[in-house]
Amino acid sequence: MSKTPGRRTVQCPRCDTPMEVSTATKSTPCPGCHRNIRTEDEVVNDYQARVEYYNEGRVEVGKKGNIIAEVRVTALVVKGEVKGPVRARDSVQLLRGGKITGNVVTPLLTMEEGSVLIGRVETGPRRAALLPPAPAPVAPTAPTAPVR
């Protein structure tokens, strides 16, 4: 991922704008949408109810951790509980005792025995081939003259 030593490339979880930051960077403004992006690895061991939980780093939800939010991270490790849609750019690890209630989209999902997952899952290197084709965009219709 990193191009030069001490630097790495992150992508804005909101607008997907890529940018290069120092590995020591804890947060940075996105040049695309000008919103702040957290890039620091985190361990969550408490209750956090938010609209969104975005972090371009590795987030570990500890045994006592409980996140209720739309989660977008680089890597997610769950030993506690997550409620809400999850999108992880690299991987989701659901360990024994962990629970996710929500849709999960990630290229790599690993689940241990004793974990709980309820929701729609899209994972794996060949998941694009299994997804139903997206509906064709509706062509804009020419404005019609009002009926008199």
- CB 45 → other proteins: shortest distance, Å? 23
Only one of the segments 1-9, 25-33, 37-45, 120-128 lies at the binding site for other proteins (rule: CB under 8 A); that segment is 120-128
Closest CA to 77 of 41, 113, 34: 41
Only one of the segments 20-28, 58-66, 125-133, 138-146 lies at the binding site for other proteins (rule: CB under 8 A); that segment is 125-133
135 contacts other proteins (rule: CB under 8 A): no
Residues 6+ apart with CB under 8 A from 122: 103, 104, 105, 106, 131
The single residue among 24, 113, 134, 142 that binds other proteins, judged by CB under 8 A, is 113
45 contacts other proteins (rule: CB under 8 A): no
- Alpha-carbon distance of 40 to 68, in angstroms, equals 20
Interacting residues toward other proteins by CB under 8 A = 51-52, 70, 84, 101-103, 108-127, 130-131
